[in-house]
Amino acid sequence: MKSWISYPSDCDFSIHNIPFGVIAFNNQIVLASAIGGYAVNLYELCMSELIEGSPDLYKTHTLNSFIAKGKPFTTGVRLQIQQLFSDNQSPLALSESLQKRVLIPIEKVKMQLPLDIGDYTDFYSSIDHATNIGKMIRDPQNALLPNWKHLPVAYHGRASSIGISGHTFHRPKGQRKPPDQDQPVFGPTKALDIELEMAFVIGKSTDMGQSISTSEANSYIFGMTLFNDWSARDIQTWEYMPLGPFLAKNFASTMSPWIVTLEALEPFRVKGYDQNPPVLPYLQYTGNQNLDIELQVRITPQNTISSLICHSNYKFMYWTMAQQLAHHTVNGCPVRVGDLMASGTISGPEPSSFGSLMELSWKGTKPLTLQDGSQRTYIEDFDTVTITGFCTSGDVRIGFGSCMAKVLPAL
């Protein structure tokens, strides 16, 4: 499949992708897709009767109502967009005036948070990450807790503090207990960390009491984004027992603005881990349920160059999305369109693939040296962290754009 829109071979938004997001420009907010270096105004396509749906479905502030129309509808719209951009005799290809209304250079739009996120859950599903953390804070010979290989561990996060790529936030404050003191102190975190993650978007709601099986899960997942669940490790160490993360996690998370559909990612499915001990029947699944998505993390200190600090892959997930969703709902917990389910930190087996600074610097004992000569054990003020991700197969590339945020000093 080729497009009459020209773009480089390493473009994230190829004709094979067609993601969905929300853009602001010229004092209006509309739903959009992306191809090459352009945002695609879906409201104008609808007004020109080139895609299905009513105008009010596309002239709105979130994707929720669009997603709620169901996969037969949203998949149909995506295929219609692909047809418009692959056929050089399509009404869009033949009309320069229509192109001027539909195609907006991406640098001229302001990306919006694409969802009304009712609930957000963060999993802990990378075996290398969980093992590394266990080695650092518990017994290295028994790094994984007894339940870890039996269920996808998770906690409920805070949707109100999820920001869109490009946002800034202030270094969080809280209680921490220095190892050489008997009493806790209050102040800004000294161990601000990143968490390289991805998240999937719920595309279909359920009723209370309803469970989603692993075989049904993909029909409930609309698509995926890049995700950074920022963490204050010193605050977390003091607060997490017995109920888990709280202030150490709820101050900020960052997501990429374009949602890549599950249908676009189908060609990149790969075999998952051999899970031993065998999981309980409700967590068993068939087929290839992992995804081969290359992931990178860069740190850019203020007024200097960026440094690649991590190169990982989503296929290193021990627990699959299907298992995560099946476990999340097995007790009857309802999910709603727009809910976000994050993967937890994605680390691979090699040190260069560790998805957090806590691992990369091994709890501060092995500082990283950046391109400008500075060192990092954790994130410093005015650092910008950028996560990127993409899939490739032959000449087909599908990317997610970037997930970027800058840390400001504590207030």
Tens of pLDDT, residues 71-112: 999 999 999 999 999 999 999 999 999 999 999 999 999 999
In this structure, the answer to whether residues 339 and 271 fall within a common structural domain is yes
Residue 36 domain flag: yes
Mean pLDDT of 63-71: 98
In this structure, the answer to whether residues 270 and 164 fall within a common structural domain is yes
pLDDT in tens, 236-246: 999 998 999 99
Residue 11 domain flag: no
What is the domain extent for residue 54? 21-111
In this structure, the answer to whether residues 258 and 382 fall within a common structural domain is yes
Q: What's the sign of the alpha-carbon dihedral 367, 234, 161, 353?
A: positive
Q: Which CATH number does the domain housing residue 167 bear?
A: 3.90.850.10
pLDDT given at position 13: 98
Residue 6 domain flag: no
pLDDT given at position 138: 85
Between CA 185 and CA 100 the distance in angstroms is: 58
Mean pLDDT of 317-338: 98
pLDDT given at position 307: 98
pLDDT in tens, 178-190: 999 999 999 999 9
pLDDT score of 65 more than 90 = yes
pLDDT in tens, 116-155: 999 999 999 999 999 999 999 888 999 999 999 999 999 9
137: which residues sit within 8 A by CB, 6+ positions away?
237
pLDDT in tens, 261-320: 999 999 999 999 999 999 999 999 999 999 999 999 999 999 999 999 999 999 999 999
Pairing verdict, β 110-111 and 196-202: unpaired
In this structure, the answer to whether residues 310 and 333 fall within a common structural domain is yes
Supply 9's token pair: 């071979």
- Provide the number of structural domains found in the chain: 2
In this structure, the answer to whether residues 139 and 105 fall within a common structural domain is no
- Which of 76, 111, 146 terminates a domain? The answer is 111
In this structure, the answer to whether residues 84 and 171 fall within a common structural domain is no
In this structure, the answer to whether residues 166 and 77 fall within a common structural domain is no
SS3 readout for 119-147: CEEEECCEHHHHHHHHHHHCCHHHCCCCC
Mean pLDDT of 164-184: 96
Mean pLDDT of 207-229: 98
In this structure, the answer to whether residues 328 and 249 fall within a common structural domain is yes
Residue 124 domain flag: yes
In this structure, which amino acid lies at residue 163? Answer: G
Cα 303 to chain center, whole Å? 27
Between CA 66 and CA 76 the distance in angstroms is: 12
Active-site hit among 16, 61, 129, 328: 129
pLDDT given at position 119: 98
Supply 169's token pair: 């936030």
Cα 229 to chain center, whole Å? 9
Between CA 12 and CA 58 the distance in angstroms is: 23
Q: What's the sign of the alpha-carbon dihedral 236, 231, 150, 202?
A: positive
In this structure, the answer to whether residues 296 and 387 fall within a common structural domain is yes
Mean pLDDT of 7-22: 97
Q: Which CATH number does the domain housing residue 79 bear?
A: 2.30.30.230
pLDDT given at position 139: 85
Between CA 324 and CA 57 the distance in angstroms is: 30
Selection from 287, 315, 286 nearest residue 389 by Cα? 315
- Which of 111, 140, 174 terminates a domain? The answer is 111
pLDDT given at position 117: 98
pLDDT given at position 116: 98
In this structure, the answer to whether residues 27 and 163 fall within a common structural domain is no
In this structure, the answer to whether residues 209 and 233 fall within a common structural domain is yes
Long-range contacts of 100-105 (CB under 8 A, 24+ apart): 101/41, 101/44, 102/40, 102/41, 102/44, 102/45, 102/48, 103/5, 103/38, 103/39, 103/40, 103/41, 104/23, 104/25, 104/32, 104/38, 104/39, 104/40, 104/41, 105/37, 105/38, 105/39
Residue 1 domain flag: no
Mean pLDDT of 339-355: 98
129: annotated active-site residue = yes
Residue 10 domain flag: no
Residue 7 domain flag: no
In this structure, the answer to whether residues 97 and 132 fall within a common structural domain is no
- Which of 84, 111, 138 terminates a domain? The answer is 111
Angle at 396 between CA 125 and CA 199, to 5 degrees: 25
pLDDT given at position 27: 95
**Across the strands, what pairs with 259?**
20
**Per-residue CA distances from 87 to 1, 53, 92, 165, 188 (Å):** 10, 21, 9, 32, 55
Residue 219 domain flag: yes
For residues 210 and 187, is the Cβ–Cβ distance under 8 A? no
pLDDT given at position 26: 94
